[in-house]
Amino acid sequence: MDDLKTFELPEVTCGGQGDAAACASAVRKRGRPRAFDPDAVLETVLEMFWMRGFANTSLDDISAATGVSRPSLASTFGDKEALYLKAMERYRNGISDQLDLVLTCNGPGDNLRGIINRYFDIMIGSYTGETEACLGCAFMCTALNEAPRHESIMSVLQGTIEEFDARFERFFTKAQEMGHIGSNQDPKVMSQMITSLTSSLAVRARAGARREDLQKIVDATTNFLFP
């Protein structure tokens, strides 16, 4: 049940020996590779935004934590808002890659409830982590406060919700075609129920709910939806 630079050096024209040395120096500077790993920087930035939120994380904080100067951050990622969105895109892509693996049938002995439970195992693991910190969803729990003031964040937030709804609607539509849910059940409504529960778990985790408490909610819900 499948689901469900290169860097081109500019031409340099040098008028004399002194100019040639200066031009060569300029070329060497422009052609110098980055002294930092953008992926490693984004991972650190993601953790900072996740723990502190968008408003409470400054570019000076990020520069100090990553060892990358503000001008270098700006030239690579853009402003703070663009940096936030790139970090959240990294987070979403990581979750999406995991979902590609679990939202599928693993054989004749598999069932719909088992597949959905595997999905929630991933989400709860992401929301609670391996520390005592109250994490929740890196994106949902930080974007909600900022969306009304930042059009780009609002747009990505809405798009994320719609993407999850559509993903599960496709999943449940296929499940219905294969006879795993009844013809009287609406795949769109079921998808909204799953994504709404996902959001609720994220908020509860951010508020300090323990992993076992979240698991109890999932178990009760999936037992009800997929008897």
pLDDT digits (tens, 9 = 90+) for 85-114: 999 999 988 888 888 888 877 666 678 898
Q: Provide the pLDDT for residue 23.
A: 39
Residue 86, number of CB atoms within 10 A of its CB: 17
Whether residue 78 is predicted with pLDDT greater than 90 in this model: the reply is yes
Q: Provide the pLDDT for residue 132.
A: 62
Cβ-based neighbours of 25, under 8 Å, separated by 6 or more: none
pLDDT digits (tens, 9 = 90+) for 124-136: 988 987 666 678 9
Looking at this protein, which amino acid is placed at residue 54? F
Whether residue 73 is predicted with pLDDT greater than 70 in this model: the reply is yes
| pTM of the predicted protein model | 0.76
Domains of the chain: 17-225 (1.10.357.10)
pLDDT digits (tens, 9 = 90+) for 164-215: 899 899 999 988 988 888 899 999 999 999 999 999 999 999 999 999 999 9
Q: Provide the pLDDT for residue 36.
A: 81
pLDDT digits (tens, 9 = 90+) for 8-64: 323 333 334 445 444 344 444 444 445 789 999 999 999 999 999 999 999 999 999
Is pLDDT larger for residue 181 or for residue 6? Answer: 181
Q: Provide the pLDDT for residue 25.
A: 45
Whether residue 222 is predicted with pLDDT greater than 50 in this model: the reply is yes
Query: In the predicted model, what is the mean pLDDT of residues 145-165?
Result: 91
